[in-house]
Amino acid sequence: MNTLPTSPEAIATLLGSFQPVVLEDDLLTPDDVEQLRLTPVESLRVVMLNGFFMPELSTLPQDGSVTVATTLNTDSPGEGVSIRIKAGSVLAQALEVLHVSFSFESEFIAQPRLRVVLEAGAHATLVEQYTHLSDTLCLNNAVVEVFLEAGARLSHPRLQQESLRTRHLSSLHVNQAAGSHYHGTTLAFGGAWSRTEFHVAFSGTGAHCDLNGFYLAGDQQTHDMHLDVIHNLPGCSSNARFKGILYGNGKAVFNGNIVVKPDAQKTDARLSNDNLLLSRAAEIDTRPRLEIYADDVQCSHGTTVGQLDPEMLFYLRARGIPQTQATLMVCDGFASEIIDTCNAAALQQQAQTLLAKRLASVTALAGVKDA
């Protein structure tokens, strides 16, 4: 089993064990991008290779509604990317940020940095994808910062489908001004192990945040999702829903924390984590927490851990559906409640394909045979 580092010391040691990546010219081609992208050909696109911005492979509007600039990373070689969407702009097309891991070298660390600013009243969809073209041992240490000014609305589906030899660290920071709306869904399929952190803070009243997450962990794979939502102002709301499916000796950790400060009256905060274990060796460590220091609030949290429902399987089997197909149908229904929140058709289809492919042998792993 791959052990996921959790302490700052362990993570620092891990970072130091990989060599900084260098930009390799002419490595990624337009055909590669066409093969990997999840948005239509006419959509806006920002391409990053091993953490480096590739302007020649990117496509941006000419009307000034979106500007992209590079920023020097302070802790790694290369450049980060800053995306700013002009006040009042409503993007008709999704903007895809494509992170590609690809190198003929091995044991390298890529550190992509992405900053996204939606000015007041702007509306946009940002599709973010982490993928690969080579099965190389590497570490992807990503930081994404999202700033929503007053009344801005962002839909932000994210798909992590990196190589099973990749180690993936991702930190998402969301700051919301008054009346803004953030709707994000993170899907974790790849990586030998991955850790995704979500940090949400409100800088204005009346803001709302939807956080959704799904993880699929199989043999020799570990996923960790850590959530911090801080309600420090009145009248804001958040809804966090996370689900996981684990099979073989897959392992996952969910650590969710919502804090309601004393001044955050009229807060509405919800947190849930549900897990489906398909084998005896699978393991989940789930810790949803609420810290409430205000009295006029509506808050709830909960978690479930279970196996396949035998009554549901029996219902499907009684209608002539083989055990294997019935099992996959139950798993698909469980995961789709999160996957469908992406509101991005191609990304959802890719996620469903990954799920079906990975779970094709799940009944064999569970020792189940068709009648």
- Going by the DSSP 8-state scheme, the letter that residue 76 receives in this structure is S
Which residues on adjacent β-strands are paired with residue 128?
97, 158
Half-sphere exposure of 293 (CA within 13 A, CB side): 11
Per-residue pLDDT tens for 281-325? 999 999 999 999 999 999 999 999 988 877 777 777 777 777 777
Q: At what angle do helices 310-317 and 323-339 cross, to 10 degrees?
A: 120
∠ at Cα 354 (348, 358), nearest 5°? Answer: 150
Helix (H, G, I), strand (E, B) or coil at 293: coil
Rounded distance between C-alpha atoms, residue 105 and residue 134, angstroms: 10
Helix (H, G, I), strand (E, B) or coil at 352: helix
- Going by the DSSP 8-state scheme, the letter that residue 35 receives in this structure is H
Helix (H, G, I), strand (E, B) or coil at 338: helix
Per-residue pLDDT tens for 121-176? 999 999 999 999 988 888 999 999 999 999 999 999 999 999 998 999 999 999 99
Hey, what's the torsion of the CAs at 350, 355, 360, 363, to 10 degrees?
-170
Rounded distance between C-alpha atoms, residue 53 and residue 112, angstroms: 9
Q: Lowest mean pLDDT: which of 97-106, 220-229, 265-274?
A: 97-106
Half-sphere exposure of 172 (CA within 13 A, CB side): 23
Residue 262's region, left for phi above 0, alpha for psi from -120 to 50, else beta, is alpha
List the alpha helices (DSSP H) in the chain. Answer: 8-16, 30-36, 310-317, 323-339, 345-358, 362-365
Rounded distance between C-alpha atoms, residue 139 and residue 18, angstroms: 7
Q: Which residue type sits at 123?
A: H
CB atoms closer than 10 angstroms to residue 298? 10
Rounded distance between C-alpha atoms, residue 203 and residue 276, angstroms: 36
Confidence (pTM): 0.91
Rounded distance between C-alpha atoms, residue 147 and residue 282, angstroms: 37
Q: Which residue type sits at 29?
A: T
Per-residue pLDDT tens for 50-77? 999 999 999 988 888 899 988 765 555 5
Q: Which of 196, 201, 232 is nearest to 212 (CA)?
A: 196
Contact 108/20 with Cβ under 8 angstroms?
Answer: yes
Rounded distance between C-alpha atoms, residue 243 and residue 225, angstroms: 10
**Does residue 193 register a pLDDT over 80?**
yes
Once rounded to an integer, what is the mean pLDDT over residues 14-25? 77
Work out whether the CA dihedral 133, 94, 144, 156 comes out positive or negative: negative
Between 173 and 78, the more confident residue is 173
